[in-house]
């Protein structure tokens, strides 16, 4: 199996490099988490109240319930930073899975209707069941995300040419427009526009330990599942025929992969709101640094995604004090030029 894998040359569509760079991968996967942890600590020190790094250390390991600064760290800033890191990793890995399975360089949870679907489901929840618990909200946002994603990919695959990258983006845009319009309509009619707006803008501001404790097992399981599946994703990324020829059960892998995408993206969306482009950019960066093997790309994407979102959250809180910039908007500003560059490189038309 291994020899076979190495003798197959990847197609030129997604992968510009011929070799995987294991060293770079190891560096990212081993040193990366340390860097992310340092950035998280740094992020905790920044904000309205003045808090130093040693104080963060004390709050974590020598907690004193009488000290108000300790409480700020433990109850406000830490959950928020942890939620950012988890959601970032989840978005990035979901994007990597999608891009690997579909060989579509433009795949991203925000671009194929998952976010809008989750938003629609949440608007219904806010309107009809205003007192749902957080766990049920997450489940609803899964269902909504699945609905949006299936709708967009299904429509894009109709027609003779199948789901070309650009077709998928167009279908995703239209499905998103439709579902967003529906959720806006519901929100206005039932007067829950404010709640929905707050959520849509991608806020981790309200993250608390309850949320973090509910999202952690889902995202943890999703990430582990993605790592376990990564070998087969590499095979799929060589193309359907090649993977089948190597004896891979492509249908099973696609189904498992799609489920993982839903769990990861659905959870992240329910916590963070509609953040696009993380799942688009990070896997490309990982591929650029590491190469074509998804056994490295997926863990590296998780690390890089966490880093990106913790950084974006830090920026959102500190760039324009006393106002917060919505995280989703900040990331879009970075993501759009990147998307444009990718769209220019696409050679195939409709």
Partner 1 sequence: MAERQTNHELYQRKIALRHAVIVASCAALLILSLIVSMNIGYIPLSPMDTLRTLMGDGTERETLILFQFRLPRILISVLVGAGLALSGCIVQGISRNALADPGLLGIHAGAGLMVILYVLFFGAQSFLSVLTLPFLALTGAGITAVMIYVLAFKPSDGVALLRLILTGLAVQAGISALTTVLVVKLDDTQFDFVALWQAGSIWGSNWKFILALLPWMLLLIPYVLMQSRVLDVLSFGDETAVSLGLGVEKERRRLLAAAVALAAVCVAVSGSIGFIGLIAPHLARRLVGPKHVILLPACGLIGAALLSAADTLARGIMQPAEIPAGIMAAMIGAPYFLYLLARTR
CB of 259 to partner 1, least distance (A): 25
Largest CA distance in the chain: 67
Residues with Cβ < 8 Å from 174, sequence gap 6 or more?
152, 155
CB of 124 to partner 1, least distance (A): 15
Q: Rounded distance, CA 199 to CA 137, Å?
A: 12
CB of 336 to partner 1, least distance (A): 4
Measure the N-to-C terminal CA separation of the chain; round to a whole number of Å: 36
Residues with Cβ < 8 Å from 218, sequence gap 6 or more?
138, 263, 267
CB of 185 to partner 1, least distance (A): 5
CB of 175 or CB of 263, closer to partner 1: 175
Is residue 314 within 8 A of residue 331, CB to CB? The reply is no
Is residue 101 within 8 A of residue 233, CB to CB? The reply is yes
Phi, psi of 110 (to 5 degrees): -75, -30
CB of 56 or CB of 168, closer to partner 1: 168
CB of 10 or CB of 326, closer to partner 1: 326
Is residue 316 within 8 A of residue 334, CB to CB? The reply is no
CB of 56 or CB of 146, closer to partner 1: 146
Residues that bind partner 1 (CB under 8 A): 155-156, 158-161, 166-167, 169-171, 173-175, 177-178, 180-182, 184-185, 188-189, 191, 193, 197, 201, 276, 320, 323-326, 328-330, 332-333, 335-337, 339-340, 343-344, 346, 349-350
E strand segments, the chain? none
CB of 255 or CB of 333, closer to partner 1: 333
CB of 131 or CB of 344, closer to partner 1: 344
Distance of CA 86 to the CA centre of its chain: 9
CB of 116 to partner 1, least distance (A): 10
Is residue 145 within 8 A of residue 120, CB to CB? The reply is no
Cα 310 to Cα 95, 198, 224, 264, 339, distances in angstroms: 18, 19, 21, 17, 21
Phi, psi of 221 (to 5 degrees): -60, -40
Q: Rounded distance, CA 93 to CA 265, Å?
A: 9
CB of 187 to partner 1, least distance (A): 10
CB of 172 or CB of 257, closer to partner 1: 172
CB of 243 to partner 1, least distance (A): 26
CB of 342 to partner 1, least distance (A): 9
């Amino acid at each position: 199996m291994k020899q076979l894998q190495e003798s197959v040359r990847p197609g030129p569509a997604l992968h510009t490099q011929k070799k995987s760079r294991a060293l770079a991968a190891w560096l990212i996967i081993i040193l990366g988490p340390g860097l992310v942890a340092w950035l998280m600590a740094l992020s905790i020190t920044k904000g309205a109240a003045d808090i130093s790094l040693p104080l963060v250390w004390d709050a974590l390991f020598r907690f004193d319930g009488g000290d108000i600064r300790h409480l700020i760290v433990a109850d406000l800033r830490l959950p928020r930073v942890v939620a950012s890191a988890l959601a970032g990793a989840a978005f990035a890995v979901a994007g990597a899975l999608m891009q690997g399975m579909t060989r579509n360089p433009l795949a991203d949870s925000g671009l194929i209707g998952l976010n809008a679907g989750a938003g629609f489901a949440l608007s219904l929840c806010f309107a009809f069941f205003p007192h749902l618990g957080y766990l049920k909200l997450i489940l609803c946002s899964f269902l909504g995300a699945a609905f949006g994603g299936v709708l967009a990919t299904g429509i894009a695959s109709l027609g003779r040419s199948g789901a070309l990258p650009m077709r998928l983006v167009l279908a995703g845009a239209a499905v998103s427009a439709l579902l967003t319009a529906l959720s806006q309509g519901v929100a206005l009619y039932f007067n829950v526009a404010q709640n929905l707006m707050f959520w849509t803008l991608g806020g981790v501001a309200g993250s608390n330990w309850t949320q973090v404790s509910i999202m952690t097992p889902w995202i943890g399981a999703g990430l582990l599942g993605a790592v376990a599946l990564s070998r087969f994703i590499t095979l799929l990324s060589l193309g359907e025929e090649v993977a089948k020829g190597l004896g891979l059960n492509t249908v099973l892998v696609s189904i498992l992969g799609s489920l993982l995408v839903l769990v990861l993206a659905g959870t992240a969306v329910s916590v963070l709101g509609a953040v696009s482009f993380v799942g688009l950019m990070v896997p490309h960066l990982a591929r650029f640094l590491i190469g074509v093997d998804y056994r490295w790309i997926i863990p590296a994407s998780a690390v890089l995604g966490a880093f990106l979102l913790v950084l974006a959250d830090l920026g959102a809180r500190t760039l324009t004090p006393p106002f917060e910039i919505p995280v989703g908007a900040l990331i879009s500003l970075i993501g759009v030029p990147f998307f444009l560059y990718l769209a220019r490189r696409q050679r195939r038309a409709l």
